[in-house]
Homo-oligomer: A and B are copies of this chain.
């Protein structure tokens, strides 16, 4: 992912993008915030009105909607490490407030679908599935050197990760486990 690719995707020239934003990091943070809102909308489309939701159906919707959003998955890993650390305080404030709006909306959606979670379980669910998606996206999309290594060296074959089914399985486990621990409380 580089600025030229982003400009191409948005349909403008790189120099035009740089006229509106101070740095590359600022552009990526804007795209991350937009990604949170678009992902929330996609989950609403898949899940609104369902009255028979289970950890399995919610996990399938999470994995499907995130698999459709490779740039957002990539940005999820980059935001805390590189992006949030290299922009002004005002940029990071508006990013955080915008992302938290979408996040609160997702917490409400998950809690409505799986009432046993409670608000705290809903928050933990969103935090956990996005952390898992961020990590799995990176390991399932290795750089060229690593991809060649995985193909060549049989000792590394099981390091290869298939993003969508792995995320669905882990998201389902997290939701099941959070429901069980909420019942204990």
Contact = CB atoms under 8 A, between A and B. Distances in A.
Interface in A32-60: 55
Interface stretch (A13-21, A63-71, A75-83): A75-83
A142 interface: yes
B124 A173 contact: yes
A16 B49 CA distance: 63
Interface residues of A, number: 51
A183 to B, nearest CB: 11
B146 A84 contact: yes
Contact of A156 (B97, B132, B145): B97
A149 B55 CA distance: 35
Contact of A81 (B78, B84, B85, B156): B78
Contacts of A85: 143, 145
Given A92-B149, A96-B149, A176-B181, 20 more contacts: A77-B81, A81-B81, A85-B143, A85-B145, A89-B148, A93-B156, A97-B155, A100-B155, A127-B135, A127-B136, A127-B161, A127-B166, A128-B173, A134-B135, A135-B135, A170-B174, A172-B177, A173-B174, A177-B178, A177-B180
